[in-house]
Chain A
Amino acid sequence: ELKVEQNPLFLSMQEGKNYTIYCNYSTTSDRLYWYRQDPGKSLESLFVLLSNGAVKQEGRLMASLDTKARLSTLHITAAVHDLSATYFCAVDANRAQKLVFGQGTRLTINP
């Protein structure tokens, strides 16, 4: 059974700092997704990573995928308050569009 683990689960950081969220998964997959969720809202797609070594960047966020290590990272550069949200990674193990999500990382960015 596929397991997806994120760490940390809670992250409080100051504006201007850098940090990384880690997403580990237990079975082979080359399809990994990152989503953002604001309180009471739905999921907003951030990145789609479809191959080993894939790296995507959007603004202050950069995501990467290492399928051999079964690890994805979401790196935040020079954090700003607007990035405060919960971030989820999700893995599609069989290319069947049946996602298994991590527990989420609740990110709080303080001025």
Chain B
Amino acid sequence: GQSLEQPSEVTAVEGAIVQINCTYQTSGFYGLSWYQQHDGGAPTFLSYNGLDGLEETGRFSSFLSRSDSYGYLLLQELQMKDSASYFCVASGSGNTGKLIFGQGTTLQVKP
């Protein structure tokens, strides 16, 4: 089957660093993306890893290890506005636009 596992909730304080892990099992795996969704809002793209290694975009970094079927999203210098759900997303069935979403991790940032 196709599945992604990520923690359901994470809590951290402003200014801290948090890592959200994701393990996946998908057929035709092509790459791993991360999307952010605020309550009542639309999912928005954060990052994509097609190759093993670390991708950095400002305060956010994402990592992929294909051999371990594992990735993570690292958020640094947390801000209150980072409170949201974060979805680990696998590109399944090859490079065809089919995204398979994990259940999402709700991040709560506290003052």
A and B together in one complex:
no
